[in-house]
Amino acid sequence: MVYIILGKGFEEIEAIATMDVLRRGGVKAAFASVGDRSVEGAHGISVSADTAVKKIDLSGADMLIVPGGLGGVESIEGSRETMETLRKALESGIPLAAICAGPRVLAKIGALEGKNAVCYPGMEDQMGGAKIDNSCLSCVDGNIVTGRGPGAAIAFGLEVLRFLKGDAATEKVAAGMTYDIR
| Residues designated as active site | 100
SS (H, E, C) the chain: CEEEEECCCCCHHHHHHHHHHHHHCCCCEEEEECCCCEEECCCCCEEECCEEHHHCCHHHCCEEEECCCHHHHHHHHCCHHHHHHHHHHHHCCCCEEEECCCHHHHHHCCCCCCCEECCCCCCHHHCCCCEECCCCCEEEECCEEEECCHHHHHHHHHHHHHHHHCHHHHHHHHHHCCCCCC
